[in-house]
Chain A
Amino acid sequence: MTDTVAYDHSEAAATAGEHHDEEGHSHPSDWAYVKIAIALAVITALEVFTYFETVLDWGVALVPSLIFMMIVKFYLVATWFMHLRFDSKLFGRMFSAGLILAVGVYLVTLTVFEFWV
């Protein structure tokens, strides 16, 4: 009975271009994932483009642009492919805790070596 309900549910969702997991969270359609992958590929191409300075000199905008594109790619993978956008916020908080701690600690370490030593 449960399986039948689950099957009918996913079939109806598939018609609407999305499906649901066992916890009832809706997940995007395969085409949505493909669109995210295309966006990631375009951003990667832009990143590589910056390497060839003879084509276009990015000047002082180079490093900020690269970091911005990296953050956008990071965000797209984490929110769409890792489903943080659709899952419980607790998962995101667990990951963010490690990430923020790592970025904070190592930024402090790097600045100490850069400016104080």
Chain B
Amino acid sequence: MSAEPLMAEVDHAVDADGHDHDPHATTTGLSHTKLAMWVFLGSECLLFGGLISTYLLYKTRGNGRTLPTDVFDIPFTSVSSFVLLMSSLTMVLALSAVSRGEPEAGRTWLLATALLGGVFVGGQVYEFTAFVREGVAFTTNPASSAFFTLTGFHGVHVSLGIVMLMSLFVASLKGKLTQRNSETVEIVGLYWHFVDIVWIFIFTVIYLIPAD
């Protein structure tokens, strides 16, 4: 028996009516998992849109105390932004390597992405502590509350992304991440790039555009 009929038995199932069908086929012809991720990312636009709008409404309400805009360290945040931007490159290179069937290269790029994400989160923790030292804490005024909520939520998203990346790294080490299931990397990648896109927006609207 040749290998071809065996593959056909694996890839196709016969239903009760005797129709041969692919168990992975979908009604749209597209991956439903990927479609679900895109719908989720669309809904995330509403979440971050709400948080950004809240900050824009409150950014000048300092109640006579220091505003977040008074203590922004633009050169430092620029470096953080650059790091997160470059993590999108390493993420897409990880996907490219896995879909080419190069698990070692894929692992390296996944680890690089997680490390760059870690540097970004570390920078955010440093920024938060520096702000608190300079008198801008979560409950200082409406502006600081909105600022910490927005950037904190983003930081949590990056942290969750790092957990997902490390899960993929471990799965790859165990040989469970192959060319056949490279879509898993793509879906985590979509989430990661979205987090990057949100920061592109935050960096410009919150940090670079002058408050007044």
Residues of A within 8 A of B (CB): 1-2, 6-7, 10, 14, 19, 21-23, 27, 30, 33-34, 36-37, 40-41, 44, 47-48, 50-51, 62-63, 66-67, 69-70, 73-74, 77-78, 80-83, 87-88, 90-92, 94-99, 101-103, 105-106, 109-110, 113
Are A70 and B57 in contact (CB-based, < 8 A)? no
Beyond A2-B7, A98-B46, 18 extra complex contacts between A and B, CB < 8 Å: A10-B101, A14-B100, A21-B99, A44-B85, A48-B75, A48-B78, A66-B208, A74-B200, A77-B200, A81-B88, A87-B34, A94-B35, A94-B39, A98-B39, A99-B42, A101-B42, A102-B46, A109-B53
Pick the most buried of A10, A83, A94: most chain B CB atoms within 10 A of its CB: A94
Residues of B within 8 A of A (CB): 3-4, 7, 11, 28, 30-31, 34-35, 38-39, 41-46, 48-50, 52-53, 56-57, 74-75, 78, 81-82, 85-86, 88-89, 91-93, 96, 99-101, 179-180, 182-183, 186, 189-190, 193-194, 196-197, 200-201, 203-205, 208-210
Are B204 and A81 in contact (CB-based, < 8 A)? no
Separation in Å of the B46 CB from the closest CB of chain A? 5
Q: Which residue of B lies closest to A88 (CB)?
A: B30
Separation in Å of the A61 CB from the closest CB of chain B? 13
Are A103 and B85 in contact (CB-based, < 8 A)? no
Task: Give the residue of A44, A81, A99 whose beta carbon is less than 8 angstroms from that of B81.
Answer: A44
Q: Is the interface of A mostly helix, strand, loop or mixed?
A: helix
